[in-house]
Amino acid sequence: MDLIGKIKTNRLKAVSVLAVIGDIFMGLAGGEGLVLRDPSHTFAYSLLMISGSCALFGHLMLFVWGKGAEDKAIARAGSHKAEPPILLKPLWPWRYPLDGALFAWLLAGISYTVSGILMDDMALLFMGVTNVAACLIGWLYPKHKKFFGFSGMQMTSIMYMLSTVGTFATAWTLGSLFIFGAGCAYAACNLILYTVNKENQSAFTQQHEV
């Protein structure tokens, strides 16, 4: 299979690589804040570093197990296994890497939200709230139902794009080139995420779910 074909079949891996770059930049922004910026916001900048770490953990799941588009080489199973309750899917990241990642990103989004509150930064707060909304939709919304005409994953991507707008705004309000770099990486990753079907998130789901 050619390189472009591999990327198309393993879209979640491509998402992971791009987002890891963004997460690293966010972690560096937190470290920069601890060293060079207002010491009264030490805890808030520490949360930025924690957010980056949680997000990195989620993307590690996608890189190891994620696919994101149907792989024609995977044989279809004749019967379908029962799915675990949706709230428990993150406990099986090798089967449901996207659900596991969304839970990790939810923790990161909560951390961003608290950081925005502590720093009284509306852009960072907006970034965190939209991130949390994206994670909840992607994780909990039924994958075959439409959300205002969009699939759950498409709506998740749209919310992440709004969060990315918040990232660029935060880069402006905090004067951080690291956060600006993160926004660029997240924007590219969101465009790919828009094309992902949740039922194709891993080899397991392609074999056992429709």
Query: What confidence tens digit (pLDDT) does each residue in 157-195 have?
Result: 999 999 999 999 999 998 899 999 999 999 998 988 888
108 in a domain, yes or no? Answer: yes
- 146: pLDDT confidence band, cut at 50, 70 and 90? confident
Query: What confidence tens digit (pLDDT) does each residue in 12-49 have?
Result: 888 888 888 988 898 888 888 887 777 778 888 888 88
**Residue 74 and residue 95: Cα distance in Å, rounded?**
15
Domain count, the chain: 1
81 in a domain, yes or no? Answer: no
107 in a domain, yes or no? Answer: yes
202 in a domain, yes or no? Answer: yes
Backbone angles phi, psi at 194, to 5 degrees: -60, -25
Closest CA to 170 of 53, 94, 178: 178
Q: Could you list the residue range(s) of the whole structural domain that residue 194 is in? A: 3-76+86-208
**57, pLDDT greater than 60:** yes
- The rounded mean pLDDT for the chain is 86
132 in a domain, yes or no? Answer: yes
Structure tokens at 160: 């992440």
Helices (H), the chain: 3-9, 11-36, 42-65, 97-119, 122-140, 152-174, 177-193, 203-208
HSE-up of residue 49 (Cα within 13 Å, Cβ side): 13
**Residue 73 and residue 80: Cα distance in Å, rounded?**
18
Helix-helix angle 122-140:152-174, to 10 degrees: 160
